[in-house]
Structure 1
Amino acid sequence: MSFIVKIKKQLALYELLVDLETEAGILAVIGGSGSGKSMTLKCIAGIETPDSGFISLNGRVLYDSSKKINLPPQKRNVGYLFQEYALFPTMTAAENISIVMKQKNPVQVQKWLEEYGLGDYADSYPDHLSGGQKQRLAMIRMLAAEPQCILLDEPFSALDEHIKRKMEREVMEMLHDFDKPILFVSHNQEEVYRLADRIGSMENGRFSPIREKRAFFAEPQTVGQAKLVGCNNISEIDWISEDRVYAKNWNLSLRVPFTELEEQKKYRAIAIYPGDITLYSEDAILEEKQVRNKISVKSCSTEEELHSWAVSCQIDGTDAELMMLLSKEKMPSVPEKITEIFVDGGKIHLLQ
C-alpha cells in the first residue's frame, strides 16, 4: 500500500512544498499553527487543489497536474476526520453512518454504534452528543466508507484534557485493524510521540524527511524541529574550530561534536535538552569520553514539577537563561545556591 504526495501550492506567506512517500501505519505531521499541515491534508483529500504535482494512492492517481487529472473528493476514497468532525446536523447518528456506506446495512450500523458505546444514540442528532461521542461517530462514519487511507486533522484538539487520553485509546483501538496509510496532523508533541510510528515536520510550508519517531525526538535536525520537540535551549552559533562554537545567544564558548570544516556550513545553531544539563558533584560518575562544558551562573529560580525540578539559570555576565530539568528521584532537593552547571559536549545538538 503505497501513498505518494509530491505537490506545490503558493500560499499567502510561503510556497507549500510537500514530498513524501509512506505505506501502512501512522505517519505524523507535526508543526505549528499556519505551517501548512491542514492545507496538505486538504490537497490530498481534494478539497483544495495544488498548483502542480502528483498524488497517488496504491497506484491509483488522485492528482496529476501534468496529465490534468484531479479526482473530486468523493472519488478519492480518502477518509478525512476534521477538527470539527463535519457531521451532518440534520441526520441522526445512524443516518450519518448509512449515507457513506456503499451498501446500506442497518444491522451493521447498529452493531458499530453498540461496539463503540453509542448503541442508545442511533436516533440522536449530533447536537445532542458530547464531544467524545461526536468523535466516535465521526470515526465510525469514516471507517464505514471503507477508505484506502485516513487523514486525521488535529483529532483531539477540541476535547477537554481529562478525556483526551481516553479518546486517544479509543481511536487507536478503532484503527487497530486498518492496515493502510494514516496521516496524523498535530501540533502536540506528546500525542504525536504516543500515537505515531514515523514523523515528519512542517515548517513554513516545507515538509522534512520522514524519520522514526525516537530518532526525530532524540536528534532534532533543524531549529524548528528542536522547538517542536520541546528543546527550548537554542542559540545561534559561530564556529571557532572543528569541535568548538561560540553560542551567540548565551555569550559562551562550548565544546560540541567534532565536525569537519566543510560540514560546518550546514549548521547555524545548537540546542541543549534541559535534561542534559547537570549539577556537578565530586562523586559524579563521568563517562570516559565525556567532555564537560562548565557554565557559570549568577542566579537560579526553581519550580517544582511532578517528577522533576525545573531550574532556570541566568548565565553569568548576560541576561540569557538556560533551562535545566533535575530528576526528583536522583535529587530530592535543589541546592539554594548554584554557581556552576555542566553539559556534555557530545549531547549538544547541531541544527540546520
Structure 2
Amino acid sequence: MSLIVKIKKQLDNFMLSVDMELTDEVVSVIGMSGSGKSMTLKCIAGIETPDSGFISLNGRVLYDSKKRINLQPGKRRVGYLFQDYALFPTMTVMENICIAMGQRNEEKVKGWLKRYGLEGMAYTYPNHLSGGQRQRVAMLRMLAAKPECILLDEPFSALDEHVKRSMESELMEMLTDFHNPVVFVSHNRDEVYRLAERIGSMESGVLSTVRDKKDFFMRPMSVEQALLVGCNNISEVKWQDKHHLLAVEWDSVFEVTDEQLEQTAMSMDGISHIGVFPQDIIISAGKTKTALAYADKNIIRIKDYKMIEELKSWEVLCKLNNDSIIYASLPRHTEANMLNKNINDELYIKNFYLLG
C-alpha cells in the first residue's frame, strides 16, 4: 500500500512543491496557515489540479501531467475529511452514510452508529447534531466509501477543547483496521505528535523531508520547524570561526561541536539561526550542582526576570542587557526554591539547535 505525490502548482504567493511517499501509516504535514497544506490534500483528492507532476495510489495513477491523466475525484477512492465536515444538510445521518456506501443498508449503518455513540440519530439532520457528533458522522461516511487513502484536513479545528481529545481517540480507533495511507494536516503540534508516525513541515509551499516524529520534534532543522515544535528562543547568528558563533539577539558566543555540524547536514553558510528550547535552559538560584555542571558551557547573561505561573510549570521571562527576551521553563517542584531566592544573572544552555 503506497501513496506517491510529486507535484508542483503555482499559487498566488509561492510555488507549491511536494515530494513524499508513504505506506500504510499516518504521515502529518504541519505548517502555518496559508502555507499550502490544504492545497496539497485537494490536489491528491482531485479537487484541484497541479501544474505538473505525478500522483499514484496503490499502483493506480491518479494524476500524471506528462501522460495527461487526471482522474475525477469520484474515481480516486480517496476519503477526505474536511474542516467543516461537509455533510449534506438536507439528508439525514442515515442518508449521508448510505450515499457514500452506494447502497442502503440500514442495519449496518445503525450498528456503526451504536458503536460510536450515535444510537438513535439515524434519521436526524446534521444541523441538529453537536460538533463532535457531526465529526463522527463525517468519519463514518468517509470510511463507508471504503477509501484506499484518507486525507484529514484540520479535523479537530472546529471542536471545543474538551471534545478534541475524545475525538482523537475515536478517530484512531476507527483507523485501527485501516491499513492504507493517511495524510493528516494540522498546525497543532500536540495533535500531530499524538497521531502521526512521521512528519514533514510545509514552509511557503515547500514540503520538507518527512521524518520520524521524535526526530522531527527533537531536532528541528529550520526556523519555522523550530517555531512549530515549540522552540520559541531563536536568534540570528554570526560565525566567528568553525566552532564559535555569536547569537546576535542574545549577545552571547556559543561553542559548536563537530558532531552538531554533522547532524545538521548543512554548511556553515546555510546555518543562519540558533534555537534553544525553554526546557534546555538551566536557571538557578545560587551555585547548585546543576549550575556548576554547566558553568563552563554556553552562557547568556540577564539583568532581570519575571516568573509566570503555568499549569504544570513556571515560565520565566528573562530580560537581557540589550532588552531582548528569552524564555526558560521550570517544573512546578522548583517553585519554593525559586520564589524565595534571587536567581543567578547567568543562564546555562544545556542544548541548542543550528537552524537554516
| TM-score of the aligned structures, taking structure 2 as reference length | 0.94
- Alignment correspondent of 2:327: 323
Aligned to 1:23: 23
Q: Residue in 2 aligned with 1:199?
A: 199
Match of 1:278 among 279, 282, 285: 282
Q: Aligned pair in 2 of structure 1 residues 32, 175: CA closer, same or farther (>3 Å)?
A: same
Shift of 1:297: 0.8
1:309 corresponds to 2:297:
no
Structure 1 CA distance, aligned partners of 2:46 and 2:296? 53
- CA distance, structure 1, for counterparts of residue 23 and residue 255 of structure 2: 40
Residue 350 of structure 1 is matched in structure 2 by 354
CA distance in 1, matches of 2:266, 2:103: 62
Alignment partner of 1:12 is 2:12:
yes
Which string of whole-angstrom CA distances, capped at 9 and with x for unpartnered residues, describes residues 41-69 of structure 1? Answer: 00000000000000000110000000000
Aligned Cα root-mean-square deviation (Å): 1.9
Corresponding residue for 1:213?
213
Pair 1:341 & 2:346 matched: yes
Q: Could you tell me whether the CA contact under 8 Å between 2:41 and 2:153 is conserved in 1? A: yes
Per the alignment, residue 128 of structure 1 pairs with 128
**Sequence identity (%):** 54
Q: What secondary structure is seen at the aligned counterpart in 1 of 2:227?
A: helix
8 A contact 2:235–2:248 mirrored in 1: yes
- Residue 247 of structure 1, CA deviation: 1.0
Q: How many residues end up aligned between the 2 structures? A: 350
- Which structure shows the higher helix fraction? 2
Quickly say closer, same or farther: Cα 1:287–1:311, change in 2 above 3 A.
closer
What do residues 331-350 of structure 1 show as CA deviations (whole Å, max 9, x unaligned)?
534245334233346x1100
1:297 match: 302
Uncovered stretches (5+) of structure 1, i.e. residues with no partner: none
After the TM superposition, list the runs of 4 or more consecutive aligned residues in structure 1 that deviate by more than 6 angstroms.
Answer: 286-290
For the residue of structure 1 that corresponds to 2:231, the secondary structure is coil
Is contact 1:7–1:53 with CA below 8 Å preserved after alignment?
A: yes
Whole-angstrom distance in 2 between the partners of 1:246 and 1:54: 44
- Letter of the 1:200 partner, please give it: G
Question: Using the alignment, how far apart are the partners of 1:262 and 1:86 within structure 2?
Answer: 44
Structure 1 pair 277/138, CA: closer, same or farther in 2 (3 Å)? same
Relative to structure 2, which stretch is displaced further, 140-149 or 303-312? 303-312
Task: Judge conservation of contact 1:299–1:339 (CA < 8 Å) in 2.
Answer: no
Aligned to 1:168: 168
Give the C-alpha shift of residue 249 in structure 1.
1.8
* Secondary structure in 2 matching 1:192: helix
Residue 291 of structure 1 and its aligned partner are, at CA, apart by 5.2
2:3 and 2:21 in contact (8 A); partners too? yes
* 1:261-272 to 2 correspondences below 5 Å: 263-272=267-276
Name the amino acid aligned to 1:135: Q
Instruction: Describe the superposition over 1:6-50 as per-residue Cα deviations: whole angstroms up to 9, x where unpaired.
Output: 000000000000000111111011000000000000000000000
Q: Distance in 2 between matches of 1:86 and 1:226?
A: 33
TM-score, normalisation: structure 1: 0.95
Which secondary structure does the structure 1 equivalent of 2:249 belong to? coil
Displacement after TM superposition at 1:181 (Å): 0.6
For the Cα contact (< 8 Å) 1:81–1:138, is it kept in 2?
yes
Q: 2:232 maps to which residue?
A: 232
What amino acid does structure 1 have at the position aligned with 2:318? C
| Deviation, structure 1 residue 286 | 7.2
Give 1:322 deviation, angstroms: 0.7
The one-letter amino acid paired with 1:146 is K
Contact 2:302–2:347 (CA<8 Å) still a contact in 1?
Answer: no
2 CA distance for matches of 1:262 and 1:61? Answer: 35
One-letter amino acid matched to 2:320 = I
Q: How far 1:289 sits from its partner (Å)?
A: 9.2
The residue matched to 1:121 in structure 2 has which SS? Answer: coil
Instruction: Could you tell me which runs of 5 or more consecutive residues in structure 2 were left unpaired when the two chains were aligned.
Output: none
